[in-house]
Amino acid sequence: MSRLAVLAGCAGAIVALALPAAAGAGKPAPGAVYKGQYEWGGGMSDPFRIKVFEGGGKMNFSLKCAGVVRDRTVIRKKGKFAIRFGAEVGTGQLDVRGRGRFTTDNDVVGEIETIETSGATCEAPGQFGGLVE
């Protein structure tokens, strides 16, 4: 067998091993703090923060530019979560609405669909992404 064939086989095995971890949803790291940037508009960005509780089933989400500070949220199966923030949550009129997911123990991504908070310094739609700090 030639060296080229061996190298091609090794490269294929490495890619096959790396893809499932990167592509699949993951569970959050219990007790971890995730920090990153919320990107919106034409290249504007603001910091966000997620604190996962020790049990791993709930978290606090903060996006200060939208007026969201420590909004408690449940983490669903496969590491997915919904962001629902507002004084009239039961009526369907939300000030901030979005969703996200944990892709690995060290990564979180998502999007904000609506920001209608009075005095907000950022806008929707936008995307956020961050890592364990």
| CATH code for position 33 | 2.40.160.90
Q: With respect to residue 51, please indicate whether it lies within any of the assigned structural domains.
A: yes
- Whole-prediction pTM: 0.77
The pLDDT of residue 86 is 83
Look at the chain and report how many structural domains it folds into.
1
Q: Is residue 71's pLDDT more than 70?
A: yes
Q: With respect to residue 8, please indicate whether it lies within any of the assigned structural domains.
A: no
Q: With respect to residue 34, please indicate whether it lies within any of the assigned structural domains.
A: yes
The pLDDT of residue 19 is 36
Parallel, antiparallel or unpaired: strands 126-132 and 58-63: unpaired
Q: With respect to residue 104, please indicate whether it lies within any of the assigned structural domains.
A: yes
pLDDT-derived band at 15 (thresholds 50, 70, 90) equals very low
Closest CA to 77 of 30, 25, 129, 113: 25
Beta-bridge mates of residue 68: 63
Of 23-27, 28-32, 78-82, 107-111, which range is least confident?
A: 23-27
- Other C-beta atoms lying within 10 Å of the C-beta of residue 53: 15
Structure tokens that stand for 81 in this block: 């979560």
Across the range 90-116, mean pLDDT stands at 87
pLDDT-derived band at 22 (thresholds 50, 70, 90) equals very low
Share of the chain above pLDDT 90, in %: 65
Q: With respect to residue 11, please indicate whether it lies within any of the assigned structural domains.
A: no
**Sequence letter at residue 95:** D
Q: With respect to residue 17, please indicate whether it lies within any of the assigned structural domains.
A: no
Three-state DSSP at 41 gives coil
pLDDT-derived band at 105 (thresholds 50, 70, 90) equals confident
Given a contact cutoff of 8 angstroms between Cβ atoms, the answer to whether 44 and 65 are in contact is: no
Structure tokens that stand for 30 in this block: 């219990």
Domain carrying residue 36: 25-132
Q: With respect to residue 44, please indicate whether it lies within any of the assigned structural domains.
A: yes
Q: With respect to residue 90, please indicate whether it lies within any of the assigned structural domains.
A: yes
With vertex at residue 105, the alpha carbon angle to CA 104 and CA 110, rounded to the nearest 5 degrees, is 55
Q: Is residue 11's pLDDT more than 60?
A: no
- DSSP label at 27? P
